[in-house]
Structure 1
């Protein structure tokens, strides 16, 4: 098999075959950004991530040696939305995610995670543990009066019983938030690891903490690209200084082998604010690292 040069790689993520919902692993874009609270534009994230992923199609993982393109993988393209209607869009996203064996989704705003968790939990029949990498808690009951804005996704997911909160860990948190949000979140049993704690620790230690919190059972990864510092991911709607470096994120993810992940998303890439594709490439690589974890298990 001849691997095409990077600039001629297929436009599907990692060159995956298209539109096969029966594939073991599926990739889909969810171009919704009508619930953003600062800069819009993450609707264009999935296309940018796919384009940047051309850099990941010509080799194996440097640590594990796996090739995620060897997985039974299909790119489903973009999910349909209800224009301008957040609740209706969440319903459509859930319907399209239903029945998929294992989905890696590219956003779009973080609000799409709620629909994905609803579909996943209905399929597997139990709440999941969550690794949430982000600058923000996303546990507001509403954002500026909008109940389903991107900053309330995990309030809904917890109150709807989609997440086992004692098996949820939030990594990289550093944005301004009201004290009652921290109180409510910790009161549910969620573990919060501020970005400064990550900087003062090591990827190996953070990964060990994640493992201890998740324990056994099904898990989900939700990676908001603003979990990274704006120096590494300027192309996002709500950048916050003091975040993770890409090497820290990679170092953590690479140590999460063996966890029973049932799905993942990488969200909040807004290419209009990006520089030289560095945000899109970071997001694509996070998705690639996630699929490499599945290839190790497979």
Structure 2
């Protein structure tokens, strides 16, 4: 059959071209769309959390998962993503689960549905890779992962510590204040990278590698500090896109200048790929404030980096 034939008239099924950069952009990087968590061949599950009711600044991160999927088409052609020396599909099988479904405007339902989804993915022996969505959604993602892994270390890339003792029940700046109190995280094994906004320094439990420090030292020094802090503790890696300087990620709710470059972030992640990271997320992507898909492409590239990190551990 020539590719001008219409499958609707020929009755012949035509496989989608997963390498196209513009056609049939339904899933992240062309991964199969599936909710079959019983498939033992699947190693990792990408899914979206289209939520932004916890946002304190510019809204719009509910569109983050859709924006990242669209931008991920730019990554589909390269089977062996540079600088990795293997094709992802040779070492890892992943699916796109779609977005978590919850009642619009109902933060309690979001919390319940996201926790249940993360728990089901981890219980099935797969690594979750979540795309958001405002950072408040990391709280139920953590809850779901901890159900099966126990208390975790946190590797947190951000401009903000998100350890604020806010009065609001739903706020994207409170998760890492609440998580240790719930027994989800061990701050003594946790690290926050790229911080460049105020926090209570005198009683802060997490190791902070602030943006000035990270930008003033070698990538290798930052990698060594993260590795020493986390050790072999099972860890949750969360990446707020505003860790990157707005030059590299303008499409976010609370941009802060003076951040990391996208190159720094990718090299740091490559250097900690062999740590025992059990779950990942990339958050706070707000396409309405983006330019030329810069931020969505950064988010898509980070999510793909997570998959390569997972694949590199075998």
State if a TM-score over 0.5 links the two structures.
yes
Matches of 2:100 and 2:49, distance apart in 1: 5
Correspondence 1:248-287 to 2 at 5 A: 248-287=264-303
1:210-243 Cα distance to aligned partner (Å, 9 max, x none)? 1111101211110000000001100000000100
Q: Residue 238 of structure 2 aligns to a residue in which SS?
A: strand
Matches of 2:288 and 2:228, distance apart in 1: 38
Pick aligned residue for 2:107 from 77, 86, 98: 86
Counterpart in 2 of 1:193? 209
Counterpart in 2 of 1:156? 178
- Let me know the Cα RMSD of the aligned residues: 1.5
Q: Does 1:72 align with 2:97?
A: no
Matches of 2:127 and 2:219, distance apart in 1: 26
| Alignment gaps of 5+ in structure 1 | none
Counterpart in 1 of 2:82? 62
Q: Residue 111 of structure 1 aligns to a residue in which SS?
A: helix
Is the Cα–Cα contact under 8 Å of residues 53 and 107 in structure 2 kept in the other structure? yes
User: CA offset at residue 89 of structure 1?
Assistant: 1.5
Counterpart in 2 of 1:128? 152
Large movers: runs of 4+ above 6 Å: none
The change in CA–CA distance for 1:275 and 1:212 in structure 2 (over 3 A counts) is same
**If each structure's strand is expressed as a fraction of its own residues, which one has the higher value?**
1
Counterpart in 2 of 1:97? 118
User: CA offset at residue 257 of structure 1?
Assistant: 2.3
Q: Does 1:41 align with 2:60?
A: yes
| Alignment gaps of 5+ in structure 2 | 1-14
TM (norm. structure 1) is: 0.93
User: CA offset at residue 254 of structure 1?
Assistant: 1.1
Paired residue total:
289
TM (norm. structure 2) is: 0.88
Counterpart in 2 of 1:140? 164
User: CA offset at residue 21 of structure 1?
Assistant: 2.3
Pick aligned residue for 1:165 from 162, 171, 187: 187
Q: Does 1:209 align with 2:225?
A: yes
Matches of 2:202 and 2:115, distance apart in 1: 30
Q: Residue 222 of structure 1 aligns to a residue in which SS?
A: strand
Counterpart in 2 of 1:293? 309
Larger gyration radius, structure 1 or structure 2: 2
Matches of 1:107 and 1:66, distance apart in 2: 28
1:160-217 Cα distance to aligned partner (Å, 9 max, x none)? 1111111110000002x25xx3334x2x3x1001100011111111111111111012
Pick aligned residue for 1:119 from 134, 140, 144: 144
Matches of 1:110 and 1:212, distance apart in 2: 26
